[in-house]
Structure 1
């Protein structure tokens, strides 16, 4: 037995009219069947309204649910007009409605009754229909609230997932930026070291050429013997340490970061910027643009303008001790 038919039987409609309504509406649902029943309540039921699939359905349901209907032993007992539930006292018009009640309530004890169930009046039918519609509306409203709650929960989860993804992307971008900054710093330091090395090589070449020219001139002027002309270049280019006009200046640089002092001889025309490039190439903790120099005696800190002057112009020739910071 279909669920629509069981519900209509429970509402008190006659089984024949229910079969007629279900067949006429092609079993399209409970509401069309109810509308058909209400609209044709005064019309006779056609003889061919019963469908084969509904024949003996009430008996089958009754047998399947094992409903126990008690019968009295009196020989002249009046005809039974209804079935009564012995457990709750409800009266049903047919075994089909009793079976539906047994399925819903779990009751199993029933008995025949002479009580006749009166058909529903038009007002009662309309009241039942209104009550059912109200219950359906309440059920839909409750389901709508549940759906809305689930939708809000899903939206919260989606937003949280989106925020997590944004945070991951932001962290990755920050890491990439830090990597790029570190890479540029390394490139700048390597570039400074390369420039300092090239400049030092150029100065060494200049000193070697100057020494060679001096030796050749001495030979031409008879101021040196051939043996002296073949002496090492370092001995020929040895600076005079007592003269401020010496072409070379020997510097000892003490680093504020600690460690042994750095010593190197520069052409007196070199600037303190050249010295800063050499310091940066020797110690990566120093930067050409920020390193500062100070002399110990007389005590003096060289300005950025003085950094661009020659060692000779800054009074550091022929030798000096500087503090680098």
Structure 2
């Protein structure tokens, strides 16, 4: 209706939204149109060509586009509109509204009565002679203010709910971050343990290498001293004493004087095992009653290139190779106590 449209435009509403509201409410009046505008504030305006036509009068049970939240709003709407009774010129009462026979509420048109029927479940209506007066400008502004306050309240409740959800999501995010941080710390601690173990192994290998180099230096010193002693004896015309014979006679004499002390009284045997292919020698101390097979098992535990079932051992001084049958003999029985150097291949 042109009058309702002009009134809505005078309130400052957008012309396109006014047309949408009148079209959506089937021109049922000023109040439904204003309710539609406020309810759909901020929503995009649909294309008029795609809007589905609806019945102007409606029927009981048909959903209508009326923003009446509860029965109290209906009562407030009726109070704002006011009621009065009119009669025809012949003295008979003329129907001006629709009244619910179950609760006594009066509605201006069929649309409001349909909405009341949907909400309350009432299905008994009758025509009434009470006429609902149109809203005055003051009443329109008051209703507009009330509806805006109601929308603001709904938005405030929604904002509070969103804030609660945001706090819950933030708590979940922080907990996930703590769990990830804890996992990273555990992985870092494991890496530090691995690094410390690697450094310990490297340090042990360095110590073994230094010991091997030191032993080699001592052997070189002894060899140079023996060579110097032989040269001096030659210069002085003195007899030359064979160092190897002297070295071999010394343990023999000692053994005879101590009744085989080297073979019986040494509980432990210190071994230096060198690989025939070269590399850092391995040093260990085993009981003198340990077998040669236990020596092979020790060496297999130090390097993957050694197999207990195929490895062989030999000595350079005196030159000797141990057979597989001797692997069950003890170090004392093989004459390797109290110390010996073995070549593994």
* TM-score normalised according to structure 1 size: 0.51
Q: Give the Cα–Cα distance (whole angstroms) in 2 for the partners of residues 79 and 56 of structure 1.
A: 28
Q: CA deviation at 1:131?
A: 1.9
Aligned to 1:57: 55
Q: Give the Cα–Cα distance (whole angstroms) in 2 for the partners of residues 238 and 111 of structure 1.
A: 136
Q: CA deviation at 1:238?
A: 6.9
- Larger relative contact order (CA 8 Å, sep ≥ 6): 1
Name the count of aligned residue pairs.
209
Residue of 229, 232, 235 corresponding to 2:248: 235
Q: Give 3-state SS (helix, strand or coil) of 2:153's partner.
A: helix
Q: Give the Cα–Cα distance (whole angstroms) in 1 for the partners of residues 138 and 121 of structure 2.
A: 31
Counting only pairs closer than 5 Å after superposition, residues 48-127 of structure 1 correspond to structure 2 as 57-62=55-60, 64=62, 78-127=93-142
Q: Give 3-state SS (helix, strand or coil) of 1:112's partner.
A: strand
RMSD: 4.4
Residue of 17, 33, 58 corresponding to 2:4: 17
Aligned to 1:26: 16
Aligned to 1:320: none
Q: Give 3-state SS (helix, strand or coil) of 1:120's partner.
A: coil
| C-alpha distance 123-98 of structure 1, shift in aligned 2 (>3 A) | same
Counting only pairs closer than 5 Å after superposition, residues 1-325 of structure 1 correspond to structure 2 as 17=4, 21=8, 25-27=15-17, 57-62=55-60, 64=62, 78-214=93-229, 221=237, 223=239, 229=242, 232=245, 234-235=247-248, 260=267, 282=284
| C-alpha distance 106-234 of structure 1, shift in aligned 2 (>3 A) | farther
Q: CA deviation at 1:187?
A: 0.9
| C-alpha distance 80-88 of structure 1, shift in aligned 2 (>3 A) | same
Q: Is the 8 A contact 1:215 1:236 kept in 2?
A: no
Q: CA deviation at 1:156?
A: 1.6
Q: CA deviation at 1:55?
A: 7.6
Gaps of 5+ in 2: 22-29, 35-47, 64-90, 255-265, 272-281, 286-345
Aligned to 2:327: none
* TM-score normalised according to structure 2 size: 0.48
